[in-house]
Structure 1
């Protein structure tokens, strides 16, 4: 499936990956990216090193379509209730991270329908601190139009080690996730200005 994604992105977009060397081949890891299109997961899957196993979370409603559910299950996507994720789902996600899967997350929680960005949700910080995972800020810059440029930039890893032993509130997690989102946004504007190459 990943091979199909890579062929698709190279055939239909001027696809460029920057900063791939920032992704460690092993260790607990979360890739956190901005989200404006359903193509974003495909872009990320196409950009990450073949040796790095990946999983992601997706809203459970998508799994109601049997064909789509079969595809999502094949690429090991985890269904989640976005308003009330159960303890079993949280444990499953943490297990994947600790088993050397890179968890792909969109901190905004849903696609941004405007040129702006949505606020980050607390889940990113929660999973990163519980799994003791580094975060790779991933910025996707694209118009999503066929045969136009699509850039995926992986920034330097962010460690939340200073928070591992702290008792964090939901507000703390939201603030920390917001700080990561700010890095993703800053890199977006740098890509827009051509400052990252």
Structure 2
């Protein structure tokens, strides 16, 4: 068993009962081919929660500073995280993300770029739109509906694929594409919040 599968199993054993995680729409995630899962971001636990509820292994970007600590850096690489320099246009991270998709893998993104302290949806950065427009990946919106409170229900909802074709045909900007993806996440939250 590799480190990713091992970590995923351990984290699932802990988090599923602790947050009474309910997963909806997992069948919307394609079994093969490149996929981008785009989720809202309300907690530091979001990456592991998306990781254990997705039917596919996911590669996530993580802030570059975390990789400067030797042991943590190696661990993060082992669980499919890769570094991104925040606040900059990090070409290496963009190339790495596109390579993951070229390899028919799954990329996990939080379009807001940072956690929402209020739990409200923030404005997306252009990154998710960049990957969506520059690849042929299927874009799956994901809503994490909290709060993260012990033994209270936490929902993870995977929506239907976002149609990117009209964005490509209208030569939309990466920011416009990211706004469209966020709109789909917002709809999932509205539909499943009750």
Is the TM value for this pair above 0.5? yes
**Tell me, what secondary structure is at the counterpart of 2:142?**
strand
Q: What's the counterpart of residue 41 of structure 1?
A: 47
State yes or no: 1:5 paired with 2:11.
yes
Q: Give structure 2 stretches of 5+ with no counterpart.
A: 1-6
**Structure 1 CA distance for aligned equivalents of residues 119 and 148 of structure 2:** 13
Q: Which moved more, 1:182-191 or 1:150-159?
A: 182-191
**Tell me, what secondary structure is at the counterpart of 2:162?**
coil
Q: How does 1:103-142 map to 2 (within 5 A)?
A: 103-142=107-146
**Structure 2 CA distance for aligned equivalents of residues 162 and 79 of structure 1:** 31
TM-score scaled to structure 2, two decimals? Answer: 0.90
TM-score scaled to structure 1, two decimals? Answer: 0.89
Q: Which moved more, 1:79-88 or 1:113-122?
A: 79-88
- For this pair of structures, how many residues does the alignment match? 188
| Aligned counterpart for 2:68 among listed residues 56, 64, 69 | 64
Q: What's the counterpart of residue 186 of structure 1?
A: 187
**Tell me, what secondary structure is at the counterpart of 1:118?**
coil
**Structure 2 CA distance for aligned equivalents of residues 80 and 105 of structure 1:** 12
* Deviation sequence 1:145-181 (CA, Å, 0-9, x none): 111111100000113133446655xxx2112211211
Q: Which moved more, 1:74-83 or 1:102-111?
A: 74-83
Label 1:77 to 1:123 Cα distance change in 2 as closer, same or farther (>3 A). same
| Aligned counterpart for 1:78 among listed residues 76, 82, 106 | 82
Q: Which moved more, 1:158-167 or 1:11-20?
A: 158-167
